[in-house]
Copies of this chain bind each other. A is one copy, B any other.
Amino acid sequence: MTTTTSLTNHQVRLAARPVGMPTRDNWRFTDEPVPPLTDGDVLVKTLALSLDPAMRGWMNEGKSYIPPVGIDEVMRAGGVGVVIDSRNPQFPVGAHVSGSLGVQTHCLVPGADIRRAGLAPIDTRVGSLTQWLNVLGMPGMTGYFGLMDVGQPRAGETLVVSGAAGAVGQTVGQLAKILGLRAVGIAGGKAKCDWVVNELGFDACIDYKAGPIKDALRQACPNGVDIYFDNVGGEILDTVLTRINRKARIVICGAISQYNNTTPVKGPSNYMSLLVNRARMEGIVVFDYADRYPQAITEMAGYLREGRMKSKEDVVEGIDTFPETLLKLFNGENFGKLVLKVADA
């Protein structure tokens, strides 16, 4: 029998629902003792957390693909950690795991909740801890299934992806290149655009901060757009809709430009381009593909090993920086997948 004592769990809880951009007042920090384990339980020490645009949606009330985080609940977050105590033979002490750990230093996963928390062992020989939050984690899976299943790519087609230097975007564009498509990114600032082209091997990357993207998009996509993988919504979605080809597929993965609106979401004015072009706009939620993660991870790990895929993370240290670090996503300040480092491995 193992019992854990004298460990303190430091937590970030949702104190109030934000209006517009979240502020420090929306959060509350708490400390509580880690309770003793019972049979089946696993105690994970959080090493790093994935900060994702979707978190903004989880802070809102209302129906979505997942229930909102309740007021006073620990903020939901995917993460990686190490098992430091266990009453569960599937998760021995010392094992590295990923799962929905929450924004807290320790996560006690009850035996009955292992599956709900998505707790799964990770092999750090296959990828680093932060890669397991990026191309081998939720963003990678989102990009993989969003492109493969919803986008239905064919060699020779042109793919455009917004948020190209972000976690999902980097996966999508690199996968598209591997599959023989022309890959065009949209990102904010010259540094990101240069990296997307020079390091990730995209064919072009458009800097949306340099002005309206219309002309650059036309130049970068001389044969039009067959797949648009949208992470941002707003004006960029509307502009890409003017360039789509017959039977194009628009993958709706996110709309980060609209998440902190205090006015109604800007719907795509040019949606009738779907009719003109017999095109399709379709949503992706990664959780639907959970049964197929292992196969996709194996494939992505192969690309990593072969050097055909790169994985860039933007790591910020300290759980107490969470309120400000999260905002980097909405200000476009993150360069690569945004990771909050909570403890040393």
Contacts and interface: CB of A to CB of B under 8 A. Distances in A.
Interface string A240-279: 0000000000001111001000001111111111111111
Contacts of A285: 275-276, 278
Contacts of A258: 272
A265 B272 contact: yes
Contact of A282 (B264, B266, B270, B274): B274
B288 A283 contact: no
Nearest to A253: B275
A147 to B, nearest CB: 15
A278 B269 contact: no
Quick one: copies of this chain in the complex? 2
Contact of A284 (B253, B255, B267, B275): B275
A49 B332 CA distance: 55
Nearest to A281: B281
A278 B285 CA distance: 7
Contacts of A265: 269-272
A284 B276 CA distance: 8
A3 interface: no
A233 B268 CA distance: 12
Contacts of A270: 265, 267
A279 B283 contact: yes
Contacts of A63: 276
A276 B283 contact: yes
Contacts of A288: 278
A255 B274 CA distance: 12
A267 B278 contact: no
A281 B63 CA distance: 20
Interface of A: 63-65, 233, 238, 252-255, 258, 264-285, 288
20 contacts: A63-B276, A64-B276, A65-B275, A254-B275, A255-B275, A258-B272, A264-B269, A265-B270, A265-B272, A266-B267, A266-B269, A267-B268, A268-B271, A272-B283, A273-B283, A275-B283, A276-B285, A277-B283, A278-B283, A281-B281
